[in-house]
Amino acid sequence: MDERVREHARTLVDWSARIEAGDDVVVRVGPDAHDLAVAVAEELGKRGANVVTTYASGEVTRAYLRAHEGDFEADPEYERALLAAADAVLTLGGGRNTAATADVPGERRQAYDRARREIRTARLDTKWVLTEHPTRSLAQQAGMSYEAYQEFVYGAINRDWEAQAEKQAKVKEVLDDASEVRLVSGDDTDLTMSVEGRVAVNSAASVDYDSHNLPSGEVFTAPHATEGEVRFDVPMTINGKRVRDVDLRFEDGAVVDYDAAQGEEAIAEVVETDDGARRLGELGIGMNRGIDRVTDNILFDEKMGDTVHLALGRAYSSNFPEGREGEANESAVHVDLITDVSEDSRIVVDGETMQADGRFWFEDGFGE
């Protein structure tokens, strides 16, 4: 087996999920994530954890959902029991077709998800981690050869996470003490947000850091009182539609105007979802420099080094002090949009420049 797969498995089991002897671990295996599943099973065996592997196939889900008419049973007990008693849930993404469920009617999918709220909550109450095995399907989505894509994925995942976490801690500290963040980039972006009363999350790809993605590598908080305009120049796919060069204008915290060079209707659909969809739920600063290109996969794109992403919609409760989670922006959606800040850009916190042209204040080359 490829040594990089074993390292991925060790990172997932040790750093990300903090698996201990006796842990009851559910491993959800994508159809093409077999090799990673084997490596993870070996690591779980070594640690004396227990393992149940489930099969996470988009094609199986599609077949089931399309054939199922009428109401879905709420939280089937056998699946709820499995997850309620589990200590950790490791999702090993890796399908054969990123569009496998494209012809499942949206309402059917939503009804299914709504019927499974307790199951979802039970999963989120464990040490859960989402990662992806590099597959040919994801390589294709990225427009990359399989070998080059593998290099890319392992460059993003098999990192010195301890060092990454320390670097990110500096940014978290500044944001926690801050009241205002200003983002300036090129001619089209000058945005001011309040982060007063918010808690930044040092998302270092470990449950010990409130971080559930591998790779991660970002610091994020929940902004409010947003004013100004922003251009998102990193192309992406939203609900199956390509979008490029999205412009948003905010007044009093809400979007008052938007356009896009491509996919404006996808943005319209998001913004019109509900009131919360016009407000920001997240300001994220991408700091994973192992991710050095766009691969049309949000798990990777939003953590790309020298980018900033803002999400329209739902905020994470982890960005609020205990007892104040109720202040979180609510919405049915959470849609990330990304902008490159590696050139002609500044992130300014309470008047002090935190990052200029992709360099943080504590890095060589800052301000040069």
> Closest CB to its own copies among 75 and 306?
75
Whole-number Å distance between alpha carbons of 58 and 94: 10
Choices 28-36, 187-195, 205-213, 334-342; region in contact with its own copies by CB under 8 A: 28-36
173 sits near its own copies (criterion: CB under 8 A) = no
Whole-number Å distance between alpha carbons of 10 and 154: 13
205 sits near its own copies (criterion: CB under 8 A) = no
Nearest CA-CA partner of 152 in 330, 311, 265, 304: 304
24 sits near its own copies (criterion: CB under 8 A) = yes
> Closest CB to its own copies among 97 and 237?
97
Judge whether 26 and 54 are in contact, CB under 8 Å. yes
Q: Residue 165 — φ and ψ, nearest 5°?
A: -65, -40
Using CB under 8 A, which of 5, 12, 19, 44 touches its own copies? 44
What type of residue is 183?
A: L
Using CB under 8 A, which of 2, 3, 20, 45 touches its own copies? 45
Query: What would you report as the CA-atom Rg of the chain, rounded to the nearest whole angstrom?
Result: 20
> Closest CB to its own copies among 36 and 204?
36
DSSP state, residue 101: T
97 sits near its own copies (criterion: CB under 8 A) = no
Which tokens is 341 given? 């800040």
Whole-number Å distance between alpha carbons of 201 and 169: 9
Q: Residue 30 — φ and ψ, nearest 5°?
A: -70, 155
Size of site (CB under 8 A) for its own copies = 47
Strands 201-203 and 88-93, how do they pair?
unpaired
26 sits near its own copies (criterion: CB under 8 A) = yes
86 sits near its own copies (criterion: CB under 8 A) = yes
Judge whether 367 and 356 are in contact, CB under 8 Å. yes
Distance of closest approach, residue 41 Cβ to its own copies, in angstroms: 4
Choices 44-52, 236-244, 246-254, 259-267; region in contact with its own copies by CB under 8 A: 44-52
22 sits near its own copies (criterion: CB under 8 A) = yes
82 sits near its own copies (criterion: CB under 8 A) = yes
With residue 346 as reference, give the H or E element that holds it: strand 345-349
Cα torsion 26, 209, 286, 266: sign: positive
39 sits near its own copies (criterion: CB under 8 A) = yes
Choices 76-84, 163-171, 208-216, 357-365; region in contact with its own copies by CB under 8 A: 76-84
Distance of closest approach, residue 82 Cβ to its own copies, in angstroms: 4
42 sits near its own copies (criterion: CB under 8 A) = yes
Nearest CA-CA partner of 285 in 190, 354, 230: 354
DSSP state, residue 199: -
Using CB under 8 A, which of 4, 18, 51, 353 touches its own copies? 51
Judge whether 263 and 243 are in contact, CB under 8 Å. yes
Using CB under 8 A, which of 2, 48, 268, 344 touches its own copies? 48
Using CB under 8 A, which of 2, 3, 20, 77 touches its own copies? 77
> Closest CB to its own copies among 21 and 351?
21
Residues that bind its own copies (CB under 8 A): 22, 24, 26-27, 29, 31, 34, 37-39, 41-46, 48, 50-57, 59-61, 63-70, 73, 76-79, 81-86
